[in-house]
Structure 1
Amino acid sequence: MDYERTYDSGLFDGVALFVILIDQGSFTKTALVTGHSTSHISKQLNKLEARVGIRLLNRTTRNLSLTAEGEAFYLRCQKIVDETQQATGALLGLQDEPMGTLKISCPVSLGLSTLRPLISDFMTEYPKIYIELELNDRKVDIISEGFDLAIRASRKLDDSSLVSRRILKSNSMVIASPSYIKKFGAPNHPRELIEHKTISYSNLKQPNVWEFIDLDGSQISVKVDSHILTNSAEMEIAMCIDGKGITQMPSFNLGQEIQQGQLVELFKEYKKQQIEVHLVYPSRKYMPSKVRCFIDYVVNNLA
């Protein structure tokens, strides 16, 4: 049903000062923060109480305390002030030209295979953004180490206060070299891996436990005896090609090794485990334009 909206032009007068006053706890501190005099703040508060028709504060020369009505009013006003600040920050961010240094963490193989061409094209489109890219397979602490965002690959991300956005899916593959198969044979079932030499990725929580989906759809966990344990996907591939063992990794780590016959995929008839790649960053609030445009660029180009 249509209705006529009515407006009070002075609706928000004194609201922000009221919230700041409660947050700061005194007229003196509020004056320092806002640059207004204590008398001005007091007058604005009196006008606000007169307009709403309710005493919001009990105040003496030493103490401030909210009335019950003031407490309820403060909680609502605090949300309004916070949302207004966020809206203002978002608007300013949209107006900013993306520029500055963007610090990114990414796994080595994923960076070289997937991210490299994207970053090259991104820098052409945004010449005022400088990239500081750390290719490292360790899990960085985004906030304490000063990263704007990180790219992480995992079957399941850890619960975290960080924001994540999935950008890519990849299959997990079990691979071996023809020379290894010729010498030791190929396992027919994942459980037979316990009889083979394996190469495992040490950055996983349980590098010696390999997960599979059996032909009947049930989950299988195989505890392997890792003859080589490394934090480098490149080393895994090199050792595997040299016939030192069987390894398991996301397909995005591989180039043309299978097509060129250097490696052979095992267990082709088994359903593949999914590895998800996420962009991870501290917060959606007040996101710098350089971060926002990079996220949008990666998502749009990997979709």
Structure 2
Amino acid sequence: MDKHQFLGIREFIAIARTGSFTAAADALGVTGSALSKQIMRLEARLGSKLLHRTTRRVSLTSQGEVYLTSCLRAVAALEDAEGYLNIGQAEPAGRVHINLPAAFGRRHVLPVLLELAARHQGLDLSITFSERMVDLIGNGIDLAVRIGRLEDHAELVARRLGEQHLLICGSPAYIERKGTPHAKEDLQRHDCLVDWRRGPNHAWRLRSAEDGGELCQIPVRHEMGDGEAILAAALAGLGLAQLPTWLASKHLQTGELIPVLHQLSGEHMPIHVIWPRNHYMPPRMRIVIDALLQAAQAPDSGFL
């Protein structure tokens, strides 16, 4: 093995994390010129340009982004191995990068993760929120929670956490103004509130006696960025919304929202935790996954 094979990796990670040669040099306790030489040697050895440099900022090239993901995973694996071999080290340690759906993640997953981090002082969390499916491997994400049907993916592992139940509802003021729909065709004369997405076509999945489910094209009045925004718009009387019970249940109980099309709107969607397939699962990931699986069994968890 070439003794110079791993030189420059620590410096490259520091620059990528800080976005600055100066800040990275300060953090590593080296001069800026020494740091620059290390990166030049690393790029020469790899035969690829890793960083875009300007007078104001430093950013990763596409090759740099791919290399950073690999470097972070390699460093994390080494940290896990050292932690495992250290005598008496039973506490999970290291950083876990987690991606969650926005509204559901904040309401039902984030409290579990925060409680877990409070109990394990060596566990560091990086949590992002997105309603879109993201590339876990390409973005260096350790695990994600996703709502909806998953496509088969040989590089990912999935464990089912529960099921989301959808219903169609609107505020009393809106229903008094526009009327109660009694069939799916009635939706065509209503204002529908949907999640924002590219493209002109929007559809709600409705139950069907024939095949258990069908997509129904709907007229869209307002598009919102996440479930919380759609809920707020429905409460404000702006239209009908198809909402999960975990989000709308309190407002249904108080009468602020009224369910409609009971016979059609009860679509179910699975909730999974997913992660990249590896031969070795770090303890820090195992404890997060186990905590989510355990929390999902509670009757009031929002996963059921």
Q: TM range, normalised to the smaller chain?
A: 0.5 to 0.7
Q: Deviations over 1:135-172 (max 9, x none)?
A: 22232221121111111101x11222311111121211
SS at match of 2:242: strand
Larger Rg: 1
RMSD: 2.9
Secondary structure of the 2:252 match is: coil
Q: Choose the corresponding residue for 1:261, options 238, 255, 265.
A: 255
Within-5 A mapping of 1:154-193 = 154=148, 156-160=149-153, 161-193=155-187
For 1:112 and 1:106, how far apart are their aligned partners in 2? 8
Query: What is the letter of the counterpart of residue 249 of structure 1?
Result: L
- What's the CA shift for 1:204? 9.1
1:117 matched to 2:117? The reply is no
Note the 1:26-105 alignment, pairs <5 A.
97-105=91-99
How much has 1:271 moved relative to structure 2?
6.6
TM-score, length-scaled by structure 1: 0.64
Deviation at 1:104, TM superposition (A): 0.6
Question: How far is 1:218 from its partner?
Answer: 5.2
**1:279 lines up with 2:273 in the alignment:** yes
Q: Distance in 1 between matches of 2:223 and 2:268?
A: 22
Judge conservation of contact 1:152–1:279 (CA < 8 Å) in 2.
yes
8 Å Cα contact 1:148-1:282 kept in structure 2: yes
Letter in 2 for 1:297: A
* Partners of 1:211 and 1:169 in 2: CA distance: 15
Q: How many residues align?
A: 217
SS of equivalent to 2:177: helix
Q: Structure 1 regions of 5+ residues with no counterpart?
A: 1-28, 34-88
> Contact 1:198–1:247 at 8 Å: present in 2 too?
yes
Structure-2-length-normalised TM-score? 0.64
Aligned match for 1:251, one of 234, 245, 249: 245
Contact 1:96–1:289 (Cα < 8 Å) also in 2: no
Would the aligned equivalents of 2:202 and 2:219 in 1 still touch at CA under 8 Å?
A: yes
**Aligned match of 2:225 in 226, 231, 236?**
231
Q: Aligned partners of 1:118 and 1:234: how far apart in 2?
A: 20
Shift of 1:182: 0.5
- 1:297 is matched with which residue: 277, 291, 302? 291
